């Protein structure tokens, strides 16, 4: 699994018309179908940090066993906004495995009681992805938005290493359009 960016960290956020000097996404991101999933706070019900970490560890183990289709990369990731954060994973499938990959990820979302997952598809511009919110247990969450790669926002919740107390913050919206996603270095194979 290759590094998703030169620094190993990639931040993304909603596309705006005033984006200057956009950073292109790495080739692996542009040539694959990505899915973001977490086991944190099932059905938006706050859990203790210990429960969230335990659930994410179980999800990580499940991701490592995927074989039909097998992911080409799995990265630690987290979604965040001003006063909310959930750790999770980005799972990368070959473009031709997108349908089966989506089915597998939705099933894992059901197992870990998630309202939805995110799916990312590259656009013509190397700086833009479309993020689809795929309903899992909450079918009314389907949404679509453009995402651009950007510099890390100046928010405490955007830090890779975050104090545990923020992990139990109330999440105002499971799939708000202003949420961001950070992609950490891929896990070692």
pLDDT of residue 21: 58
Look at the pTM and tell me if it is higher than 0.85: no
Positions in the chain whose pLDDT score sits under 50: 1-11, 15, 17-20, 163-189
pLDDT of residue 124: 76
Look up tokens 């290759």; give the residue. Answer: 2
- The confidence score (pLDDT) of residue 77 equals 87
Rounded CA-CA distance 76/87 in Å is: 8
What would the pLDDT profile of 32-69 be if each residue is shown by its tens digit? 999 999 999 999 899 999 999 999 999 999 999 999 99
**Residue 42 CA to its chain's centroid (Å):** 15
CA–CA distance, 31 with 29 (Å, rounded to integer): 6
**Contact (Cβ atoms closer than 8 angstroms) between residue 181 and residue 25:** no
CA distance 170 to 60: 24
Q: In the prediction, which pLDDT does 155 show?
A: 67
Task: Identify the three-state secondary structure at position 133.
Answer: strand
């Amino acid at each position: 699994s290759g590094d998703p960016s030169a620094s190993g960290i990639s931040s993304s956020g909603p596309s705006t018309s005033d984006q200057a000097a956009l950073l292109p996404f790495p080739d692996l991101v542009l040539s694959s179908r990505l899915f973001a999933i977490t086991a944190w706070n099932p059905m938006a019900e706050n859990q203790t940090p210990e429960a969230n970490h335990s659930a994410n560890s179980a999800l990580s183990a499940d991701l490592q066993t995927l074989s039909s289709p097998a992911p080409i990369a799995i990265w630690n990731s987290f979604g965040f906004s001003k006063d909310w954060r959930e750790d999770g994973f980005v799972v990368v499938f070959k473009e031709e495995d997108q349908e089966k990959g989506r089915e597998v990820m939705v099933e894992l979302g059901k197992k870990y009681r998630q309202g939805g997952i995110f799916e990312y598809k590259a656009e013509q511009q190397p700086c833009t992805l479309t993020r689809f919110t795929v309903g899992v247990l909450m079918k009314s969450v389907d949404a679509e938005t453009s995402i651009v790669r950007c510099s890390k926002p100046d928010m405490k919740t955007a830090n890779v290493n975050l104090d545990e107390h923020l992990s139990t913050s109330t999440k105002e919206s499971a799939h708000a359009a202003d949420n961001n996603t950070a992609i950490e270095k891929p896990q070692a194979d």
